């Protein structure tokens, strides 16, 4: 009986350690949590290292106007910029050289509109002057999923089918510009961006992160992506160490995957509570991040399943030892 009691004590201790460690293991995959109720259906995330924040927009139309949100690393909203636009919603966002780019869904068949706003030194809520280009798709039945702003501000549109379309080097603000198909790509694309440091296009699907050549969009590397409800966009973390994967909006988490491995990792630090980067003085105060909030996908993610499996195996071993000593 003493052996059984000792084995039971070991199992209880192991289970206690797992209970204490599981939240940490879960939290280590989270970069931040969407903490503002206005962000309901983010189409993606664009990294703005000039102002130490991210840009996103909702996929749904908002009373004949488009709103883009500046999001500090605590997941709140630091600023909201709007401009009038008669579209059916937003398909993607991008950022490059003090310009926010928005791929608006056009009301015309086989047409897209890319709007852009040039940011001054100050980033504050309100309206900014904007301009836009209209584009015509060369194929029917395509759904735009990503806007890539490559070197020399070369624009590309990637469809969910994986097809890649290149814009003219210098689009015209009058009339419609014709997009040219350059690649069949990979199916199932939900978001993407151009990584200046790696000089690669980074795309994502529901299961993979895909690095591609910026000229041909040929795949050069793939990384397994963690399961994510409503997974949509991808960008690089402000510190450049991780890929950030976006899913559903307010109350849900943006996941981080280390660029140096294929497994989820903490970003930007290994703390269970992400450390917010100092907000620029010109950004208005953001809403506080939700504390201790985990979605079902987090609670039952890979880290949790692994911990449960280890605890179960150890319990079986301890039980076998106890039975053998009876």
Q: List the domain boundaries for the chain.
A: 1-29+301-326, 32-291
Asked if 172 and 133 count as a contact pair (C-beta separation under 8 A), the reply is yes
Per-residue pLDDT, averaged over 111-135, amounts to: 89
Q: What tokens does 277 get?
A: 């980067």
pLDDT of residue 278: 33
Q: What is the pTM of this model?
A: 0.73
Question: What is the assigned CATH class of domain 32-291?
Answer: mainly beta
Q: Which of 170, 161, 171 is closest to 134 using CA atoms?
A: 171
Question: CA-CA distance, 195 to 10, in Å (whole number)?
Answer: 49
pLDDT tens digits along 251-268: 999 999 999 854 433 333
Per-residue pLDDT, averaged over 42-59, amounts to: 94
Please say if the pLDDT value at position 60 is more than 90. no
Q: What are phi and psi of 207, to 5 degrees?
A: -125, -10
pLDDT of residue 3: 52
Q: Sorting pLDDT into bands at 50, 70 and 90, what band is 85?
A: confident
pLDDT of residue 57: 95
pLDDT of residue 244: 97
Q: Sorting pLDDT into bands at 50, 70 and 90, what band is 6?
A: low
pLDDT of residue 309: 46
Mean pLDDT of the chain, nearest integer: 78
More confident residue, 302 or 123: 123
Please say if the pLDDT value at position 296 is more than 50. no
Asked if 290 and 254 count as a contact pair (C-beta separation under 8 A), the reply is no
pLDDT tens digits along 146-185: 999 999 999 999 999 999 999 999 999 999 999 999 999 9
Q: Is the dihedral of CA 230, 233, 237, 241 positive or negative?
A: positive
């Amino acid at each position: 009986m003493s052996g059984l009691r000792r084995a039971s004590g070991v199992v209880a201790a192991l289970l206690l350690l797992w209970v204490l460690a599981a939240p940490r293991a879960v939290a280590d995959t989270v970069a931040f949590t969407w903490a503002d109720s206005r962000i309901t259906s983010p189409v993606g995330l664009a990294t703005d290292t000039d102002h130490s924040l991210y840009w996103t927009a909702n996929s749904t139309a908002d009373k004949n106007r488009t709103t883009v949100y500046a999001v500090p690393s605590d997941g709140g909203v630091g600023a909201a910029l709007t401009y009038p636009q008669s579209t059916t919603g937003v398909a993607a966002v991008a950022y490059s050289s003090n310009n926010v780019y928005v791929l608006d869904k056009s009301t015309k068949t086989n047409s897209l509109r890319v709007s852009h706003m040039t940011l001054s030194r100050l980033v504050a809520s309100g309206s900014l002057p904007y301009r836009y280009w209209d584009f015509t798709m060369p194929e029917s039945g395509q759904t735009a999923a990503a806007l890539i702003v490559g070197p020399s501000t070369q624009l590309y549109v990637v469809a969910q089918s994986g097809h890649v379309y290149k814009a003219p080097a210098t689009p015209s603000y009058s009339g419609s510009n014709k997009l040219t198909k350059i690649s069949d790509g990979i199916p199932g694309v939900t978001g993407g961006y151009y990584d200046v440091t790696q000089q690669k296009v980074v795309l994502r699907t529901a299961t993979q992160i895909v690095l591609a050549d910026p000229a041909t969009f040929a795949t050069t590397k793939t990384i397994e992506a963690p399961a994510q409800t409503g997974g949509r966009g991808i960008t690089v973390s402000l510190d450049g160490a991780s890929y950030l994967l976006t899913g559903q909006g307010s109350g849900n988490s943006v996941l981080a995957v280390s660029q140096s491995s294929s497994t989820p990792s903490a970003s930007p630090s290994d703390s269970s509570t992400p450390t917010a980067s100092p907000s620029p003085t010109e950004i208005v105060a953001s809403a506080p991040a939700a504390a201790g909030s985990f979605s079902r996908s987090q609670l039952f993610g890979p880290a949790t399943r692994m911990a449960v499996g280890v605890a179960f195996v150890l319990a079986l071993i301890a039980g076998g030892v106890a039975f053998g000593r009876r």
